[in-house]
A and B are shown apart, each in its own frame.
Chain A
Amino acid sequence: MASQLLDDFKNGLWNENPIFRLVIGMCPTLAVTNTTENGLAMGIATSFVLISSEIVISLIKKLIPKNVRIPSYILIIATFVTFTDYFLKAFYPGIAASLSLFIPLIVVNCLILGRQEAFASRNPVHRAIADGLGMGIGFTWALTLLGAVRELFGMGSIFGFQILGAWYKPMIIMVLPAGAFITLGILVGIMNLISREG
């Protein structure tokens, strides 16, 4: 029982990491990871929506008729996303300004709908929480890492602190969308290499 929960949790961290393994939720992945801070904030916001909606959907799964499950899930997800949007605007205006449109777009992040369909609607609530936590943290660390690599090479800094000196000429492509594809490809490659050897 406890080991099953642990497996559900660890699943999202590495084996089925949403970004590096399942390769879903690419819209925010590619768009907002131009700085470390944006990547981290986006990861946390998405995790909150993911965990909350997995809990609710797992609890009411028996009440929702099969034919309208997708619209029901979207309504529930959209409620949590709107909540997050207002909350960030009210209490973290800086983060809200830098993520702007990408917060409302969490609604259509296929990671969230995908987990409802694949997990929360089929499993009891405690397993849904473990899955949401694991997937959320997996998504967050992946976005933060992408953001850190892009910010380091694109601007010479991490979390806004200048790491590389004035001698470093920033590779502007890294903070542009193309840099996201390049970084993602290289990181997926590295992850596959680690998994094969391990």
Chain B
Amino acid sequence: MEKESIGRLVLTLTIIGIISALTLAFVYQWTTPYIKEHQAVAQEKAVFNVLPGAEKFEEVTKNGHTFYEGYNNAGSRVGVAYIATGGGFQGQIELMIGVNLNEEKIYGISILTHSETPGLGARITEDAYKSNFVNKPFGDYTVVKREAAEQTEVEAISGATISSEKVTTIIENAVSTIQSAYGGGM
């Protein structure tokens, strides 16, 4: 094999790199509006999902966190939603939580992204698990491996205790983030 000049090697890779970058720039421009739209729709759905009674919402930044304040038709605030993330059993879990600040209770949660085991930890997205956090007062939650008897007890998914506990921790942290941004026990 004859030795190839270094210039030819550099030139080849540069040309391929330029063509590749141009192609991808075009693809990026073409697909970005669609991707943004999907994300916006998903986020909007999640906000209305965790703030029952809300008709519109506003994005508010406090303490460096973004909150979604939901308002009803009469224009009064029904609650605040917040996107919380934390480690799960595998990878990050991102969820949206909606709270009623006046009554100090959680309206509900919605799992946005996760990479938990299908059939086990992935069941955190099912209503059976999410109902653990519907209309619950703020507080310290305990994960139990039986039917939840008290308001602050969370029934673990069988075979996925770690996922169940991780979500509970994310929610506890989220509640305290929201409370500190909105002035403690207001």
- Enumerate chain A interface residues (CB-CB to B < 8 A): 34-35, 63-68, 71-72, 75-76, 78-79, 82-83, 86-87, 89-91, 93, 97, 100-101, 154-155, 170, 172, 175-176
Q: Contact at B27–A87, with CB atoms within 8 Å?
A: yes
Q: Contact at A68–B20, with CB atoms within 8 Å?
A: no
**Which residues on B sit within 8 Å (CB–CB) of A89?**
31, 34-35, 38
Report the bound CA distance from A192 to B9 in whole Å. Answer: 44
Q: Contact at A175–B118, with CB atoms within 8 Å?
A: yes
B28 at the binding interface (Cβ < 8 Å): yes
**Which residues on B sit within 8 Å (CB–CB) of A75?**
13, 16-17, 20
* CB closest residue in chain B, given A101: B115
Q: Which 3 A-B pairs have the closest CB atoms?
A: A90-B34, A90-B31, A79-B20
Chain B window 98-112, contacts with chain A (Cβ cutoff 8 Å), 1 for yes, 0 for no: 000000000000000
Q: Contact at A175–B117, with CB atoms within 8 Å?
A: yes
Question: B128 CB to closest chain A CB, in angstroms?
Answer: 16
B159 at the binding interface (Cβ < 8 Å): yes
18 CB < 8 A contacts A-B: A34-B119, A65-B8, A65-B12, A72-B13, A72-B16, A75-B16, A79-B23, A82-B24, A82-B27, A86-B31, A89-B35, A90-B31, A90-B38, A93-B38, A155-B118, A155-B119, A172-B120, A175-B119
Question: A187 CB to closest chain B CB, in angstroms?
Answer: 20
Question: A85 CB to closest chain B CB, in angstroms?
Answer: 9
Question: B77 CB to closest chain A CB, in angstroms?
Answer: 31
Known contacts: A91-B34, A100-B115, A172-B159. The answer to whether A79 contacts B4 by CB under 8 A is no
14 additional contacts (CB under 8 A) given A76-B16, A155-B118, A172-B119: A65-B8, A65-B12, A68-B9, A79-B23, A82-B27, A83-B23, A87-B27, A87-B31, A90-B31, A90-B32, A97-B113, A155-B119, A172-B159, A175-B117
Q: Contact at B4–A66, with CB atoms within 8 Å?
A: yes
- Enumerate chain B interface residues (CB-CB to A < 8 A): 1, 4, 8-9, 12-13, 16-17, 20, 23-24, 27-28, 30-32, 34-35, 38, 42, 113, 115, 117-120, 159
Known contacts: A83-B23, A86-B28. The answer to whether A71 contacts B113 by CB under 8 A is no
**Which residues on A sit within 8 Å (CB–CB) of B16?**
72, 75-76
Identify which of A71, A83, A91, A176 contacts B27 (C-beta below 8 A). Answer: A83
Known contacts: A79-B23, A83-B23. The answer to whether A154 contacts B119 by CB under 8 A is yes
Report the bound CA distance from A100 to B113 in whole Å. Answer: 10
**Which residues on A sit within 8 Å (CB–CB) of B120?**
172, 175
Report the bound CA distance from A75 to B32 in whole Å. Answer: 22
Question: A71 CB to closest chain B CB, in angstroms?
Answer: 6
Q: Contact at A67–B27, with CB atoms within 8 Å?
A: no
**Which residues on A sit within 8 Å (CB–CB) of B35?**
86, 89-90, 93
**Which residues on B sit within 8 Å (CB–CB) of A34?**
118-119
**Which residues on B sit within 8 Å (CB–CB) of A87?**
27, 31
Report the bound CA distance from A97 to B39 in whole Å. Answer: 11
**Which residues on A sit within 8 Å (CB–CB) of B117?**
175-176
